[in-house]
Amino acid sequence: MRAMSGDQVTEAVRGCVTTLRAAVDRDWTAVRAGGVEWDCHVTALHVAECLLAYAGNLAGHAKDAYVPFEMRLEDGAGNDGLLHVLETAGALLAAAVNTAAPGDRGFHPYPFRSADGEGFAAMGVAEVLLHTHDMAQGLGLEYAPAESLADAVLTSIFPHVQPGPEAWPTLLWATGRGELAGRPAVDGWRWTNNLVLPSERLTLTGLRPAAARDLRLGGAGGFTWLGGAPYEGTREAAGFLVKAYEAGLHRPEFGVFTLVRTADGLAVGGIGFHGTPDPEGRVEIGYDLIPEARGQGYATEAVRTLTAWASARDDVHQIVATVEPENPASERVLARAGFHRAPAEQEETTRREHGMESGLRLFVFRG
């Protein structure tokens, strides 16, 4: 799994321009771009417009809507000019991504109203790869991007899509452009940027599969950690996220979040769900802090933020947490966040029906 940066935008655009230049002398307005409704000229212009808009939204820190500008190709520019514009827009997005601060985000409507630099890079690369495929198909050109690019797109903005044997055919299938053995045809699709939940002093930043894999393997996951490294519980949770992703069971909004301190951008811990809501709407949360960040109320703040978000959903009806008896500090965190110790009968039922380990104490959120 490869994290996204401006370098991947540059690589994708280079492959697109190299492919299309083989047909630069043809009339692109007369050729439909594969299965889309546009001709190849309109499609190439659309890609350039997306790259420029993403660069503008990220660099301009757009909050509630796209930055209000649009791009127009000069009359008589021709295919060579269009490719130059596409290259330029790609360079602007790459620069915006590579110079963005880790916490910078800009507006994008789906699904959580914002994206960070990695998200904008991934969306830009997706536009390039998929529409180059469309245009190459219409123009009768051979095109296949590097597997690493397709994999990076999947692990960045398609975390809900189970990986296939190869990344590029999987991305084509996931966007309704191809078949994949054993999977039904895709009629409608959306990509998904990571969910970010702000609190008073923290930002709960949703982990992408690529970052989770890096954490599981001993890396930093793209974050700078207070004390130099995450707590072991965060690495373990990241491993569970990767397993769910590989099994096709991952839902990013019920995944793992890194706790990033707003004041200095340092990651101080992790919080997340043990899985998606069960048929009764029950979810379990877990959390940890690195030792240097304990005793400052960060865990309570994070638990309050996550439970408030989950409680507002229609598919969540009960939020629980489990604590070891020798961890009174965690019990105090839950109590301050609105949880209460469950009765012994409920604990026994949870052990029997949900596999709660013997000896753990069950706490239930009551607001």
Please, is 64 exposed, middle or buried when counting C-beta atoms within 10 Å of its C-beta (0-12, 13-18, 19+)? exposed
Cα–Cα dist 340/342, whole Å: 6
Sign of the Cα torsion 295, 299, 305, 307 reads negative
Q: Are 290 and 230 in contact (CB under 8 A)?
A: yes
Cα–Cα dist 357/350, whole Å: 9
Q: Is residue 330 part of a domain?
A: yes
Q: Is residue 190 part of a domain?
A: no
CA 343 to mean position of chain CA atoms: 38
CA 44 to mean position of chain CA atoms: 26
Q: Is residue 319 part of a domain?
A: yes
**Mean per-residue pLDDT pooled into runs of 10, the chain (367 residues):** 86 98 98 96 98 98 95 94 98 98 92 95 98 98 97 96 97 97 95 96 97 95 95 95 96 96 97 95 97 97 98 97 96 97 95 92 93
* Same-domain check for residues 160 and 237: no
The structural domain count of the chain equals 2
Phi, psi of 249, deg, nearest 5: -110, 0
Q: What is the pLDDT of residue 3?
A: 72
* Same-domain check for residues 165 and 210: no
- Residue 133: give its domain's CATH number: 1.20.120
* Same-domain check for residues 220 and 267: yes
The enclosing H or E element of 198 equals strand 196-198
The domain in which residue 57 lies consists of: 6-174
* Same-domain check for residues 203 and 155: no
- Residue 307: give its domain's CATH number: 3.40.630.30
Cα–Cα dist 364/356, whole Å: 14
Residue type, 56: G
Q: What is the pLDDT of residue 102?
A: 87
Q: What is the pLDDT of residue 110?
A: 86
Q: What is the pLDDT of residue 2?
A: 59
Q: Which residues fall within 8 angstroms of residue 29, CB to CB, at 6 or more apart?
A: 39, 40, 41, 42
